[in-house]
Structure formats: structure tokens, C-alpha cells
Structure 1
């Protein structure tokens, strides 16, 4: 039976949401679908029967932030005062996984509490509820059907640093380099010329492709998940899984 893997570059609205579906086919993994403009109904249909879903979106909020909101709602001055100053603001703004990514890769994810990505997380929360109805409960630590991914972090892990692939001018050239690097490092991946062109033309499509590749790595048990001391928090806040091996080591087994 073939294995289906789904990668989603989630945006707050459908037009900028990228979707990638991988299908294991013997010794190869085929990109069955790579598209933009995926609405919730499309995402739910595409993920039906998937072994793993990799989504580029925060799966939760910092524990401290939720405590802060409750303290503000109830007027708990003592709890509110615990978050004074920059250190307090950082605790409210970033999850444990965000701090981990920053420490290891020198790249700080956007704050789900204080940046526009919060709107993406809101959409992700609704999707998580729908997936739970169909796939069963999925803790946010990434060890069940759903795994949080961060394409930029994965690309840093796999390839030498270069110009931003999201840059309005230099981005297209960088995306072309990255797509070529993916093809060279993963000869087991079947990516059509049309799909490659889409990933070069649109960073959302490239992010969806990379999200699917990280989900494939997670399916193989080849990602770095939360350390033991952070597992409980990761189940609530979410945890960004980063590849533990290179693309060349992710051929079907």
C-alpha cells in the first residue's frame, strides 16, 4: 500500500496557501500534487488517509502567553507583573521550540503572540480540530499524524546559507538554486518540470514542497523532535521538527 505524505504552507487565507502531496512508489517518492490557493476543504480532502501531515504554521501558543491573557481577563495583577521587562515580553512572545531553533540555527521564528503569523495559527487551530475528528487526537509534539515544520530551518539544515529565497528581487534565483539542490540531493524524488517551475516562481509552492519533505523525514523517524524535558510543553505549544539527516539519506526504505 502506497504511503501518502502532505505538506502545507499555511497562510491566513487560501490564495497564498501552498499544498504538496507525496506518494511513495516503491523506491521512489512522487510529487503527486503541488499547487497554490488551497482552501480548508481542499486541505481536508488532500490529507484524508495521509500517513503524515507537515504544516508550516504554529500549532499552539506559548504557555506563558495563555496564562498572561487569563490574568489580564481576570485582573490578576500579581500574575501580570511576572512578565515585566524584556525578559517577560520574550516569554510571552516565543515558545520553547522557537527558542530552541534560535539557539541551534541562529534563526528566530516569528512570534505567534505578537506577529501577523497569529492569524495563520488561528486557521491552523481550526484545521487541527477537523483533523482530530478524522485522524484522531494529535498532540502538537509532532509524533502523531501532524507535525509542525519550518521550511527555512530545514533548508538551512540541508544546504549552505545563501540569499533569502523570499526576497522580491533575488528570491527567484535563490529558489532556482534550491530546487536544483533538492533534485541533486534527492534522486529518489520525482518532481516534474512543471512542478519545479512552480516552486521557482512562488516561494509558497517551494515551502509546501519542503514541508512535505520534512514530513516524509518525520515519517521515517529522521527529524529532531523535542528533548525529554520539553515533551509535555511541546504537546501544548507545538514543536518544530527539523531534519536530522540530509536529503540523500531519505530514500524510501
Structure 2
């Protein structure tokens, strides 16, 4: 389905106890082919003795934000900077199985630590994502996984590529990776995307990275008309990817980022 408007919600997911959750929302309309930022990006904590509802998430940015769609066909996409799955062999190990395993030549090839999508990122960009099973990012990953499943149940979202989709679906969750479009951790986004960012956000903050997540989310549904297209999962290894997840990255930007 082709959409008239795409709402991108960016969540730079922090851990369970920290106050480092960045939230941002932007929208793209086919009619104007422009990015517009909604409210003000924010940095928050998870609520005490509770989980974060979609309404609570978006309310931090704009108290009046709504998912109602009465005037045009709208796609809602949440871009999350955190792993949304663990490596398939790691799953097998936890279930008591004995997966094929030998000491790898490089850490990135350790099947207990890195997913197929992580190795794809390493192959294309030369960057090694953090491992949800081996690194501290597992804290953020479990928070992101728990909330994505909650929002699937309560708000009708579908986390991709885990779920089957239908033509009428208009609420998706995807995993993204802001660091790919920055030269270094605390620097600005690549100049190719900088003109789309809000003017008053400082690089190196969780709110800034949430804005990048929101751009990824908009790019998912805008079909390359303004932002670069995203790389979707390949047809091969489909079963593994559906179990482990996929990092949606700008497919035609790697040559710019590697220059």
C-alpha cells in the first residue's frame, strides 16, 4: 500500500534503570515531500513499577499527539535503536541444544554473539554492532524487546521482520542503528542527512540519536522520495532472519559514509 503520510517515532532505547531513553517524532507527507518535526525531542526514564505505553512515549514529545487517521492514509513506524532479537544459535544453547560451534577467526563470526544482520553491517560498513548476548547492550535490548511486544499486543503494531504482514497494516516497529550515519559516537549525523534534522538538538545526546531513529522510520515508508531507501532483509536465510531480526539501514549511503 502507498501512504500519503508517514509518522516516524524514534526511540533511542536505554536500559531498565537509566534516564537515557531518547524520544523524537517527525512526519513526511507525499504532497509536500518534506520532513516536519512534531513537538520537541525528549530524554526520559521508564516509569517506576510499570512499563512505557505508546501514549506515554509520544506524550513526552507532544502531549497532543494521536494515532487517529481521519484525513489521509498514514503509516506509523517506530524505529528503535536496540537489538530486537538474539542470535539463533544462542537461542538453541539456552534451550539445551548443542549448536555447531568452533572458535571463530574473529569475534564478529561468533554465532552466539552476533546475528546474521550484525555480520551484514560489518561486511557493508566495517562497523561491529554491540552484541545483545555478550555486551551490556543486552540491558537495552530486553527493554526494547519487552516494550515492542507490549505495543504489538495493545496497539496493533507489528515488529519486522518477525511478523507476517497484510496489505492493510499501517503500524510497524523496526530496528535501526544511528551510529552508522555518524563518523564518531558524539559527532553530527552525516551531511547528507543533516538538513533533515531539527535545528536545536545537540550531537551526542540520546534525543539527537532518537531523531536519527525517527528519520530511519520515515525512510521505511517514504519509498526513497526524500530520504535514502532502507535495505530490507534478503530472501535467503529468511527463517534465521525472522528469528533473529534485521537492522534496517540506508542501503545506498554506505559509499558516502566510507569515503
TM category (shorter chain) comes to 0.7 to 0.9
Q: State the TM-score, normalized to the length of structure 1.
A: 0.74
- Does residue 56 of structure 1 match 2:81? yes
Provide the C-alpha distance between the structure 1 equivalents of 2:118 and 2:190, rounded to a whole number of angstroms.
Answer: 26
- Does residue 113 of structure 1 match 2:125? no
Match of 1:211 in 2: 213
Matches within 5 A, 1:68-79: 68-71=93-96, 79=98
Structure 1 residue 231: deviation in Å?
A: 2.6
Match of 2:9 in 1: 6
Match of 1:152 in 2: 179
From 156, 165, 177, the equivalent of 1:135 is 156
1:34 partner SS: strand
Structure 2 runs not aligned, ≥5 long: 59-65, 68-74, 166-170, 224-228, 254-259
Match of 2:26 in 1: 22
Task: Give the 3 Å change call, closer, same or farther, for CA 108–56 of structure 1 in structure 2.
Answer: same
Provide the C-alpha distance between the structure 2 equivalents of 1:147 and 1:17, rounded to a whole number of angstroms.
Answer: 17
Structure 1 runs not aligned, ≥5 long: 157-161, 167-173, 247-253
Provide the C-alpha distance between the structure 2 equivalents of 1:217 and 1:60, rounded to a whole number of angstroms.
Answer: 22
Q: How many pairs are equivalent?
A: 214
Computed over aligned residues only, the root mean square deviation of the Cα atoms, in angstroms, reads 2.8
Provide the C-alpha distance between the structure 2 equivalents of 1:2 and 1:30, rounded to a whole number of angstroms.
Answer: 11
> Could you list the per-position Cα deviations for residues 112-148 of structure 1 after superposition, in whole angstroms to 9, with x for gaps in the alignment?
1100111111111211221111114434359760111
Provide the C-alpha distance between the structure 1 equivalents of 2:123 and 2:212, rounded to a whole number of angstroms.
Answer: 22
> Could you list the per-position Cα deviations for residues 178-223 of structure 1 after superposition, in whole angstroms to 9, with x for gaps in the alignment?
3876343x4xx6x2x4xx2x333x4312211111111111112421
Q: State the TM-score, normalized to the length of structure 2.
A: 0.72
The 8 Å contact of residues 8 and 25 in structure 2, kept in 1 or not, is answered as yes
- Does residue 44 of structure 1 match 2:61? no
- Does residue 182 of structure 1 match 2:188? no
Structure 1 or 2: larger helix share?
1
> Could you list the per-position Cα deviations for residues 93-112 of structure 1 after superposition, in whole angstroms to 9, with x for gaps in the alignment?
10000000001110010111
1:93 partner SS: coil
Matches within 5 A, 1:160-171: 162=183, 164-166=184-186
- Does residue 83 of structure 1 match 2:101? yes
Provide the C-alpha distance between the structure 1 equivalents of 2:126 and 2:234, rounded to a whole number of angstroms.
Answer: 19
The 8 Å contact of residues 140 and 146 in structure 1, kept in 2 or not, is answered as no
The 8 Å contact of residues 179 and 199 in structure 1, kept in 2 or not, is answered as no
